[in-house]
Chain A
Amino acid sequence: MSVKRRKFLDYILSLGFTGLVGSIIYPALSYLKPPKQAEAAVNSVKAGKVNEIPVNSGKIVRFGRKPVILIRTSTDEFIAFTATCTHLGCIVQYREDKQQIWCACHNGLFDLKGRNISGPPPRPLDPFLVQIIDDEIIIAKPKRMS
């Protein structure tokens, strides 16, 4: 067999083989990519009655798929922020003794305006709107989220 013909066959065979491998790898990889799951967009949630949350305490509320921290301050004000720490995504909690929002993972602290005041968190927590309608606490997405 002449070298030219052998080279040509080598080329054709490797092309075919590459095509075969590709046609197996491509479906397998695209199979592993999780499909988008349709979820109803959540714009507001009910977080319970006013008297269910004592003054100077906090609670985590489900907002669609994300956690939100709802706080009733010592001055009897209702505030809410996203509960996902801006550092590495742990869920924060309200510290009654410090009257601040605290992340237990790396000791990050936020004040009651959501600003990161100590520890590693790089950004403030995103605020949510809280409304009281007929004694019912309603948390809503702010019009424009930073």
Chain B
Amino acid sequence: MDKIKNNKIFQWLHERYNLEPILEFVEHKQVPMHKHSIWYYTGGITLFLFIIQVCTGILLLFYYQPGVDSSYESVRFLMTKVNFGWLIRSIHSWSANLMVFFAFIHMFSVFFSEAFKKPRELTWVSGFLMLLLAMGFGFSGYLLPWNELAFFATKVGTDIVGDVPVVGELIKQLLRGGPDVTGSTIYRFYAIHVSILPLIFLVVLGLHLLFIQRQGMHEPEFYESLPPEEKHSIPFFPNFFLRDLLFWLLILDVLLFLAVFFPWELGIKADLFSSAPAGIRPEWYFMFMFQSLKMIPAKVLGIEGEILGIVFFGILGLLWLTVPFWETVIAGKKRPWLMKVIGLLAIIYMIALTIIGYLV
């Protein structure tokens, strides 16, 4: 820290902008160390993967040309002719999946350590919103190479949106840019993927990080009740920060291994007038919902099964978003085990239906 303070550039800036508060903050921020500290890193890893998404996404923009006659061709050109083009695209695809994966892990770790409780309600809300946005990124980005699988997945996906009561049809038309998935849909998904979602995401991410900096790391109950002399913590900077970097390096290695040895395929170009091939599937993180919708009977008590499924997931999503606000009412101190059961059931449900979806 003294090294930084003696730095000429730092002094130049400090003279003009008074960096004392920032320095004070950095010097005093502590991270509690206990048996569950490992979970603190999952958020940072998700952030790192998001940064990779931004960097590789910008690089892809240099060659990608949206359009029925150019989307597929430009991605193929990128993968076959451009130096390292295959690698950049493969990293973008793999990193997207890993990002959603780590976002899920981060979310459940926060859920089970009950870090969402007061005063961190809004950190939870902003975090879950980011997961939904990440899924939106995945859904919109999936179509952009305009291959057969993506085309039909988008057809099915937007069709499901169309079943949402009252506003569904309107949203479907807005997403598709017409009654069907066509070239107009590519332009819309492109705009959503590279400008609308990133803008919203950055705002929510900024808030999320701001909340965390203001409140500091959450301390689990068992740690909080320890006598002060048994509480062990490390400075955020540089100790925790360097450990963070080490994890990022490990993730980068895993990412590169996947991208190089399992390069993302381009598939066959989408044809508006060909029949759907067998094995049309959404991305894995949509699978449990997709499979649930498939398993609901066509009519339940006179209501269309699809609509029932969508309303069901809508309500579940809303409940999950507002967990910190109703947890105190039904669980709280009286039934501390209840939230663990709910979380476990959610995980079992998601994993089971995902597996069924891939097997059937």
Binding site for B on A (CB under 8 A): 20, 27-28, 30-33, 35, 37
Contact = CB atoms under 8 A, between A and B. Distances in A.
A17 to B, nearest CB: 10
Contacts of A30: 83-84
A114 B238 CA distance: 69
- Most A CB contacts (10 A, CB to CB) among B59, B62, B83, B87 go to B83
Nearest to B91: A27
Nearest to B62: A32
A31 B84 contact: yes
A109 to B, nearest CB: 40
A27 B87 contact: yes
Interface residues of B, number: 10
Contacts of B62: 31-32
B122 interface: no
B276 interface: no
The majority secondary structure among interface residues of chain A is helix
B81 interface: yes
Contacts of A33: 83
Nearest to A35: B81
Interface string B32-67: 000000000000000000000000000100100000
14 contacts: A20-B249, A27-B83, A27-B87, A27-B88, A28-B59, A30-B83, A31-B59, A31-B62, A31-B82, A31-B85, A32-B59, A33-B83, A35-B82, A35-B83
Nearest to A38: B81
Nearest to B58: A28
Contacts of B85: 31
B81 A27 contact: no
- Most B CB contacts (10 A, CB to CB) among A30, A31, A33 go to A31
A31 B77 CA distance: 12
Contacts of B87: 27
Nearest to A36: B81
Interface string B63-85: 00000000000000000011111
A35 B85 CA distance: 10
Contacts of B59: 28, 31-32
Instruction: Please provide the 9 A-B residue pairs with the shortest distance between their CB atoms, ordered closest to farther.
Output: A27-B84, A30-B83, A35-B81, A31-B84, A35-B82, A31-B83, A31-B88, A31-B59, A31-B82
Contacts of B88: 27-28, 31
B28 to A, nearest CB: 26
Contacts of A37: 81
Contacts of A28: 59, 84, 88
A36 to B, nearest CB: 9
A32 B62 CA distance: 8
A20 B246 CA distance: 13
A28 B59 CA distance: 8
Contacts of B84: 27-28, 30-31
Nearest to A32: B62
